[in-house]
Structure 1
Amino acid sequence: MVHFGALLSALLLASAAAASPIVSPRTHLSFPPVPVTAKGLLCRVPIPIVQQVLCPRAGSANPSVNTPLGAAQGVADANGAVRFAVRYGQAARWQPSSVVTSWQFPNGNANASELPLACPQFNIDDSAMSEDCLSMLIYVPNTVTPGSNAPTLLWIHGGSFTAGSATGPGLDGSSLAAATNSIVAVVQYRLGVLGLVSPNGQTNLAAKDIMTGLSFLQKVLPSFGGSSSKITLAGQSSGANLIRGLLAIPSAQSLFQSAILQSDPMDYGFLSAGAQQTLQNFFIKQLPCSSSDTTCLNKLSIDTILGAQDSLINSAFSLDPSTGAGEPIRLVHDGSLITSPLDGTAPFPHVSKPVLVTNVKNEAGLSIYGSTPPITVSDYEGAVSSAFGTQPGAAILQNVNYAVATLASASGTDVASTQDERPTLERLGTDQIWRCPTWTFARNWVGGGGRAFVGLYVVGASYPGNTDITAFCGENGVVCHQDDIEIVFGTAPSPNAPQAALIAEMQARYKAFLNTGNPNVPGHATWNAATTGDVHALTLGGSGEVAAGGCDPSFFGKIVPYDYQLFGI
């Protein structure tokens, strides 16, 4: 038996050549292309050089703050915050990073207004990226001054571990900082094989980069009015996955107090040590160097490394199906740094930090509707049956949440061959990969001694590129993957009334969570903490709690296993 997500990942890889009507919910979830129709939209393109030239910040003052690492110069922002761009870490290629010993602008920049270059990745110009990319943008509101003891939110961007940057669309932290009266830092970390697949066997370098960033913040935050002991991690998609990894690292626990995980595809699980070794072996074979030839490895061009990475990503599923196709390069449960899978495949460790975990209503919509023609009833039922096996497949097709609702045709048309089942597949993909494993995680977290708050966005702000998927993500009432980002940051352009109300609510809730570990605030519905029996998922942008549906604990994770259970990760 092959699990549904894994099967559809394979079908997706074949569909480009064979025009298969079936598409996986596990397509690559990096930053989508942005239509360039006006300067305002250009400012949302995640290319630093474009933003530097066309989108200068409103403020021109250059405030200076003395830190233990030297003088920090910033740029005043019209939203009531000062932005500081800084290089926080340094690292040799495929080696752990360390905290810098002096305050430096990123990439040898000459002034505070210049933004950091992105870490090496596909689909951006060489001039917009650099291997020397361990930088962050720190936003300090005018209300926070030395002695304020303010909390800090450290945002970790998404992008399937292969894309994204601190200058990505909607990640200007000034409005969020001002609204929450907190310091907001947006951090970069090494991506792809440079951060997660090392010829020398180093693992989880990207997670170690975040730990370096946290150590840097603990050194400098008091100089800005922040508390070194009140740091909350927050991130979306693979950024949230990174946070889950940090929650499983004993040596990282003293570096932050709480965590916010948005749209983490928890079904994937961490990679196993065996899968990681398989990827590493294949990657080495793509390079013109041996794993022990450090001199040769250090001379490799970024283009050569990214080319080998591309070969690895395209081959990962066939090398080891547990890698899937959504995030084949990801964190590994190595047993030394990451010591727990944080799921039901091993005893859950004792935990104490409060966590806030959320999903959006249509997590799988962007993937499924992005490149998929309509899926017939027979295609859908056949894929489910063959993927899950007889008993789990039958259970899915009989579950009211995922069963085909075949309508009678007055004209005598064969509905089974004409009815589009992408909406059904979208529900199944959203629940299997994102929502249900998130709810399982919350129950496990509570069982381990921690406190968890669970939510589901039913209102969002279409992330740049999502509205290109007009067949679905551009429709009213649809909230696709990434559509929560500009709600949290308050960067949605011209928000309508529901969006504006949700921005105000979520920023108020985040302010409370940063300070107390509890997102409840006067004037808004009570957000009940999860229990081991009921996660009490709050509808964000609507009212009441979200019905469990297929996420009842007796279904996913029991009758239908998650990928991490199936592959024993």
Structure 2
Amino acid sequence: MLPFSLYSSWLCTLTLVSFLTTQVQGCAGLALQSTNHETVTTSRGYVTGYAGHDSRRFVVPYAKAPTGARRFQDPVAPSSFKSAFDASGLPPACPQPGLENISEDCLFLTVYTPAGVTRASKLPVLFWIHGGSFYTGSTTSYGLDGAELANAQNIVVVTVQYRLGLLGFMRNDALSLYGNYGLKDIIMALKYVKSDINSFGGDASRVTLVGQSSGAELIKTLLVTPSATSLFARAILQSAPLDFSDQTVTIGNRIGHLAASDLNCTKIACLRGASVDSLLDSQASIIAQGQQGGLAGLPAMGSFIRPVVDGKLVTRDFNTAVKKGETLEGSAKKLLFTTMKEEGALAISGLMPSALPSAAFDPIVEQFYGDRAASIINSDLYSPSLFSGNDSTRDAFVSLSTDYSWTCPNQQSAVNITRAHQKVFLGQFNLGISYYNRTNSFTADRATHQDDIYALFHPTSIGLTRAQRALVKEVQARWAGFVKTGSPNAVGYRTWWPVQSRSNLNVLLLGNGVRGNSAVTDQQRTAECAIGKGVYSSA
């Protein structure tokens, strides 16, 4: 048995990194401006946001606070504002470990627009869903300020918060808790965008979902959720660990029963009266049990609290549907999948904080990969002897974890979706911008998990190399092109075609050259993605 430290979270969390209202007056439907503030008229009343030099920001509630009797209930649309709503500050994060500024009253979305936008502008909308393994993250995590992106590409950027952990995903049929509350929050937020984004200058018919890590997994789930189909036009999934499936009702109930038992609750009233701290403690206990292999039927690497395939809201498991070649909901929607070249390095640096002997490779593979272990070991594709240097065993695990959690399942999913006559663009970041761990020598010079976030949002407070500046410029141009038209091609850049077949993947390698320029390849990890079981098997 590996030491507990090796079971720390496989998918890393995001870290958390503000203006008063003014008097409102004017005519309905017009944007009015005063010093550092701007007011728009929405279907629920006046909303006053913060007006910067080049952009505007509005933080608005899309649902009533899920507190008291509304805890563990589906989200409820907010009432109309009796007076001008102060949307100029930043929201507290939803309850999660490690942060002080948290509140259950957290169901807000943040709208960023270029300055001067009016209702008639009808700009396309990029709707960002943050990651954090389903139990951490927020719209105020450092680097997720959408002002620069909105202004640079003349689009509306929306970032959304949703309930996390047990509060967002707990299922317990015996207590009439049916889970998926965080997913339902996102659907409610999308409904708000559909009804009100025109008030902020957006076009409700051109909403593109963009998510990273578990945020991308939520998009994956929305692609098999019929009630969400009409709420967005297309989607970008960045670093979605598509090897992981959503929970079954049985597993969801098992986790929910564990939580209720931890909290000594046999009635729903008890859970609604429990303190946030006690819920977070129970959540931590469940995650620890899962990471130690104590939850049968769940891989030690997975996120243990997540959406449930309930057959009503979420009608199918995405992975199963894609592997069978089934048509997704909204099959005309174009999709874009990206992964990082060494995606797994961040997780490996936490799981294995120091170099390991080569003899440790096989036992660890057997522990983490179960019935896939023999094919992995016998393939000789990941033997530490193939990697040079003094850290060859960890390097082997970076390669293995990247292929098996990200690269291969994204590739196979793209191929299978293409066979079902839906267009998918496939990309890989060969260059990244270190998100928060640039002082970690093992990950500092790799394109690893989360290092695509800055490439899109480009926080101006950090210094970039020439190649990274070129990467940001290309990513923003391509993503904005996809949001606007469904094509990730832009003037001055090589043509990026959708996947055609397994032998013609058309993978765009972002940041491939020393100057940050991109390249295209027809093949990607061919031998590695052909072995083993899972959605990436050649069937």
Q: TM-score range by the shorter chain?
A: 0.7 to 0.9
User: Is 1:93 equivalent to 2:71 in the alignment?
Assistant: yes
State the AA in 1 paired with 2:62. Answer: Y
Match of 1:72 among 47, 58, 77: 47
Query: SS at the partner of 2:414?
Result: helix
| Distance change >3 Å, CA 564–CA 280, structure 1 → 2 | farther
The one-letter code sitting in structure 1 at the alignment partner of 2:89 is E
8 Å Cα contact 2:50/2:89 also seen in 1: no
Distance between the aligned counterparts of 2:259 and 2:288, measured in 1? 11
Written as runs of structure 1 = structure 2, the 5 A alignment for 1:282-301 is: 282-290=258-266, 293-301=267-275
TM-score under structure 1 length normalisation: 0.82
Which residue is equivalent to 2:237?
A: 261
SS of aligned partner of 2:260: helix
Aligned to 1:7: none
Change (3 A) 1:324 1:393: closer
Query: Residues 84 and 141 (structure 1 numbering): CA distance in 2 closer, same or farther, change over 3 Å?
Result: same
> Which residue, out of 159, 166, 180, partners 1:193?
166
The aligned residue for residue 117 of structure 2 is 144
Counterpart of 2:532 (choices 531, 538, 560) is: 560
SS at match of 1:239: helix
Q: Which amino acid aligns with 1:354?
A: K
Q: Which amino acid aligns with 1:64?
A: T
Distance in 2 between residues matched to 1:68 and 1:24, nearest whole Å: 48
> Does residue 1:360 correspond to 2:333, yes or no?
no
* Structure 1, unaligned runs of 5 or more: 1-9, 17-22, 33-45, 54-58, 409-414
1:369 matched to 2:342: no
Structure 2 vs 1, CA of residues 84 and 540 (structure 1 numbering), >3 Å: closer, same or farther? same
The answer (yes or no) to whether the contact 1:74–1:113 under 8 Å persists in 2 is yes
Q: Tell me if 1:348 matches 2:326.
A: yes
Which residue in 2 is equivalent to 1:405?
Answer: 385
* Aligned with 2:418 (options 422, 446, 460): 446
Q: Is 1:379 aligned with 2:364?
A: no
Q: Secondary structure at the match of 2:37?
A: coil
**Distance apart, 1:328 and its partner CA:** 1.1
Q: Is the 8 A contact 1:270 1:333 kept in 2?
A: yes
* Alignment check: 8 A CA contact 1:356 1:453 kept: yes
Shift of the 162–387 alpha-carbon distance from structure 1 to 2, 3 Å rule, reads: closer
3-state SS of 2:178 partner: coil
Aligned residue in 2 for 1:535 = 505
The structure-2 alpha-carbon separation of the partners of 1:66 and 1:549, relative to structure 1 and needing over 3 Å to count, comes to closer
Select which of 36, 55, 60 maps to 1:61: 36
- Per the TM alignment, residue 269 of structure 1 is displaced from its structure 2 partner at its CA by 1.3
Q: State the match for 2:448 in structure 1.
A: 480
The answer as to whether partners of 1:268 and 1:433 remain within 8 angstroms in 2 is yes
Distance 1:165 1:382 in 2: 37
Query: 1:435 maps to what in 2?
Result: 407
Aligned with residue 30 of structure 1, among 4, 13, 31: 13
Find out whether 1:123 has 2:130 as its counterpart.
no
Q: What SS is found at the alignment partner of 2:230?
A: helix
Query: Structure 1 counterpart of 2:339, which letter?
Result: N
Identity of aligned residues (%): 34
User: How much has 1:89 moved relative to structure 2?
Assistant: 0.9
What is the rounded CA distance, in whole Å, between the counterparts of 1:267 and 1:25 in structure 2? 19
State whether structure 2 residue 467 is matched by structure 1 residue 502.
no
Name 1:6's counterpart in structure 2.
none
Instruction: Render the CA deviation track for 1:305-359: whole Å, top value 9, x for unaligned.
Output: 1111111111234122425344111112222111122224545224221111111
2:213 to 226, 229, 237: 237
Which runs of 5 or more residues in structure 2 are unaligned? 21-33, 513-517
Q: SS of the residue aligned with 2:298?
A: helix
* RMSD of equivalent CA atoms: 2.7
**Aligned-partner Cα distance in 1 for 2:230–2:251:** 30
Shift of 1:63: 0.8
Partner of 1:313: 287
**CA distance in structure 1 between the partners assigned to 2:56 and 2:302 by the alignment:** 36
1:511 lines up with 2:480 in the alignment: yes
Which residue number corresponds to residue 468 of structure 1? 439
CA offsets 1:87-140 (integer angstroms, 9 cap, x no match) = 1112310001022232599xxx98443210000000011xx1110110011101
Instruction: Kindly indicate whether the alpha-carbon contact (under 8 Å) linking 1:235 and 1:262 is maintained by their aligned counterparts in 2.
Output: yes
The letter for the 1-side match of 2:468 is Q
Question: Letter of the aligned partner of 2:440 in structure 1?
Answer: I
Distance, in Å, in 2 between the alignment partners of 1:489 and 1:218 is: 23
Alpha-carbon displacement from aligned partner over 1:439-465 (angstroms, at most 9, x marks no partner): 11111221222111111111211112x
2:178 corresponds to 1:202: yes
Q: Summarize the Cα distance change of 1:387–1:230 in structure 2 as closer, same or farther, 3 Å threshold.
A: closer
Structure 2 residue identity aligned to 1:214: L
How far 1:284 moved relative to its partner?
Answer: 1.3
1:531 positional shift: 2.2
Q: 1:141–1:178: 8 Å Cα contact kept in structure 2?
A: yes
- Tell me the number of residue pairs that the alignment of Structure 1 and Structure 2 aligns: 503
